[in-house]
Chains A and B, each alone.
Chain A
Amino acid sequence: MSTKVDHPQAAEIFNQLEERVNWHDAALWYVRQKRDHAASQVKGWEELRSLAAAIKAHTLSKLDEYLVQFEEAAIRNGAHVHWAIDADAHNQIVFDILRANKARMVVKSKSMLTEECGLNHFLEDKGIEVIDTDLGERIVQLANEPPSHIVMPAIHKRREEIDELFHEHLRTKLSGGDAVYLAREARKHLREKFLTADAALTGVNFGVAATGGIVVCTNEGNADMGVHSTPLHIACMGLEKVIPRDEHLGVFLRLLARSATGQPITSYTSYYKSPKPGNEMHIVIVDNGRSNQLRRSDFRKSLYCIRCGACMNTCPVYRRSGGHSYGYTIPGPIGSILSPGLDLEKYGSLPFASTLCGSCSDVCPVKIDIHSQLYKWRQIITEKNQQPAFKKMLIFITGFIFSHPQVYQIASNAFGAMVRFTPRFLINTLLITWTKHREFPQPGEYTFSQWRRMNRQK
């Protein structure tokens, strides 16, 4: 398999430039604060979260029925529906549709699913040009990087870097990072692509089983631009995106944008049902490990996720390690509970990239118990993945000492004396990682157990 993700190492590299970490942390904390304000403006926010979680629980319990209902309704609307068992099948299906329609260039609005499947590179290898039209996605595409955040894909880039990137690829003049200028140039560049593209690709935020319609939320209107200016629309949808009825949109749309960016609603919320006369609309429903996750009762709830990114914005580790350190399409807390299900060996370090502070679970609009699932993945990883013998032995011995009071007493008394009489440089060598940037605590003259024996006779 592919190489293991080493989150601690990637995070350490990210931390080499403290000023950049501070800036990254502050940018995301600002979004978290906007979310707090937006949530506080909704009467019954917590009830809304509970309702959303309940709708997801219900839908997943009857997922097979709702998916078939969705397929039937979509076909009645005039759309074509395809089923993809994995990423390869998904990519092949999309390619076949494009080839059948002789499409050479496609405009794509943001879809984490197509990132997950590696669609861009697959199509490019087959000679099809893919243009990401979400501004953040376009920026990382030009930089030949994966997104570092699911809602703000280029949040790790500063405007000065984007200035240089556009100068190189779009021949803009160097503006010193003038955001208005850069946005206008991007718009001109993308307009031309919309007008000359042969097909539009979009993701799906919600698929409504009762109507067969799909809902796509964007802030830039780029999904609409693509769908309305090309004759072919391909929508790629993870199979957990289905919801029973239109009325449930009233719950999820109120939660999604507020949790994501603190906006009351995304600037564009597009509901696509039928293709225009003469046009084609295809929906590709993708599994790619989702039904396996559905089978795992401890981790099933991870499929509630509506991809708002709030857990990333709130995560103190994500903010200080950057999205790329996770080495998976979906970074941050939610990615750390989704990815081990796909490849336990490769993503084994991710559930440990957390202090288990629980902020992710409290901010989650659909109440996924993210931190509990991180804890549970840890238990599985240490059992299934090869662990360093030294670490395993150390923890085994610790467990032994803690379960044998007499041994504990002896060890505890010896430890205090040991630390007191050991020169500091030796302690620092022994506890090299702790003491790299921290002092080791100084044990007192006595332990509490010893003090108690001297001071309380009971």
Chain B
Amino acid sequence: MTMVVGLFIPCYINQFYPHVAIATLELLERLGVEVAYPPNQTCCGQPMANAGFENFSIKTYELFIENFHSYDYVVAPSGSCVYHVKEHYDVLGRTDHVQHIRTRTYELCEFLVKVLRKENVKSEFPFRVGLHQSCHGLRGLHLAKPSEIVSDTFSIPRLLLRNVRGLQLVELDRADECCGFGGSFAVSEEAVSVKMGLDRIQDHIRNQAEVITATDMSCLMHLEGIVRRKNLPITVKHIAEILNNTV
């Protein structure tokens, strides 16, 4: 029996970054995974809940469960959405469907390394790349060791990037500081949000990165917004696009 993966594409990726979703789908298909895309999917519900309105997101949670509970795994190109599903869907009560979703939903890189056991996806990307460690993936899903914690170093996204042909990973001055997006924080705390973003971008530029990548497009959307406004000499690319880049 082959495993079937339900692909979850976060609402803003569907809308603004279809190429990230396409790269995710193509990458999984190239690795021989059977991918289904439930057409009724919308959002994980995080935008409302993080703004303090969890009540208004319960129905969205329920729709997510309805859409995805029948798959062996759920995979999304976003650590933040996946973290929200795993961490906060317990308010629905711990039914079998809820628990199945909470344990079987994976961020893309984690799925590649932990479930498919692929550390080399045979891609090529001949650029100097800085890795932005998106917080929810880092500290919520434990995709890597956060700089605060005293333990052996590991990083799932780095593991994958290290095997990309031609890619040069640059070291940053601050390994894993937040970019300042934070959902509604980006608007409600605009001044600090933008300053945090600018500081993050400058760390990448200072260390000669040509491209900033991350497991979350939301961080990159915020950073890209600043890059474009200020015409800074750097671009952003979701990690799925790099891992799907074959020549």
Contacts and interface: CB of A to CB of B under 8 A. Distances in A.
A16 to B, nearest CB: 9
Given A8-B190, A352-B189, A441 B224 contact: yes
Interface string A372-408: 0001001101110000000010011011011101001
B74 to A, nearest CB: 16
A231 B48 CA distance: 59
Contacts of B146: 358-359, 362
Contacts of B9: 448-449
Contact of A434 (B15, B17, B186): B186
Interface stretch (B39-47, B98-106, B160-168, B207-215): B39-47
Interface in A434-451: 434-444, 446-451
Contacts of A399: 45, 48, 53, 56-57, 59-60
Interface stretch (A204-212, A216-224, A292-300, A315-323): A315-323
* Residue of A14, A398, A435 with most partner-chain B CB within 10 A: A398
A378 B18 contact: no
Given A378-B51, A398-B47, A399-B57, A355 B18 contact: no
Contacts of A7: 189
* Residue of A316, A416, A447, A451 with most partner-chain B CB within 10 A: A316
A18 B19 CA distance: 36
B226 A401 contact: no
Interface in A35-67: 36, 39-40, 42, 45-46
A92 interface: no
Given A36-B147, A357-B139, A375-B50, A11 B192 contact: yes
A255 to B, nearest CB: 12
A356 interface: yes
Interface in B29-63: 36-37, 39-43, 45, 47-57, 59-60, 62-63
Given A382-B53, A448-B13, A401 B42 contact: yes
A458 interface: yes
Interface string A391-430: 0100110110111010010001001100000000000000
B181 to A, nearest CB: 7
A443 B37 contact: no
Nearest to A399: B56
Nearest to A10: B191
Nearest to B219: A355
A402 B50 contact: no
B148 A353 contact: no
A329 interface: no
Contact of A440 (B36, B54, B149, B225): B225
Contacts of A436: 190, 194
B154 interface: no
A272 interface: no
B177 interface: yes
B196 interface: yes
A324 to B, nearest CB: 14
B23 to A, nearest CB: 10
A441 B190 contact: no
Interface in A1-37: 7-8, 11-12, 14-15, 18, 21, 25, 29, 36
Contacts of B225: 434-435, 438-441
Contact of B177 (A11, A316, A361): A316
Nearest to A29: B174
Interface string A336-355: 00000000000000001111
Contacts of A121: none
Interface string A308-328: 000000101100110000000
Contacts of B48: 395, 398-399, 402
A8 B15 contact: no
Interface residues of A, number: 72
Contacts of B178: 316, 355, 357, 359
Given A320-B196, A352-B189, A437-B226, A357 B13 contact: no
A74 B189 CA distance: 48
Nearest to B9: A448
A408 B174 contact: no
A405 B52 contact: no
Interface in A270-321: 314, 316-317, 320-321
A403 B147 contact: no
B11 interface: yes
B114 interface: no
Contact of A357 (B49, B135, B191): B135
Contacts of A440: 225
Given A11-B189, A448-B21, A395 B51 contact: yes
B149 A437 contact: no
A356 B50 contact: yes
A433 interface: yes
Interface string B57-76: 10110110000000000000
B189 A451 contact: no
Nearest to B18: A448
Contacts of B196: 316-317, 320, 355
Interface in A246-268: none
A40 B150 contact: yes
Nearest to A36: B147
A247 to B, nearest CB: 23
27 contacts: A8-B189, A8-B192, A12-B191, A14-B191, A25-B199, A29-B174, A36-B147, A42-B150, A352-B52, A353-B192, A355-B183, A356-B135, A379-B54, A382-B52, A383-B55, A396-B53, A399-B45, A399-B57, A402-B59, A403-B63, A408-B11, A408-B42, A412-B15, A438-B194, A448-B9, A451-B21, A456-B25
Interface of B: 9, 11-19, 21-22, 25, 36-37, 39-43, 45, 47-57, 59-60, 62-63, 135-136, 138-140, 146-151, 174, 177-178, 180-197, 199, 221-222, 224-226, 228-229
Given A435-B225, A438-B194, A438-B226, 20 more contacts: A8-B192, A11-B191, A15-B192, A36-B148, A320-B195, A353-B192, A355-B180, A359-B135, A359-B178, A379-B53, A395-B47, A396-B56, A402-B48, A402-B60, A433-B190, A443-B15, A444-B16, A448-B9, A451-B22, A452-B25
Closest 10 CB pairs of A and B: A355-B182, A438-B225, A399-B56, A403-B59, A378-B52, A382-B52, A448-B21, A357-B178, A358-B139, A405-B40
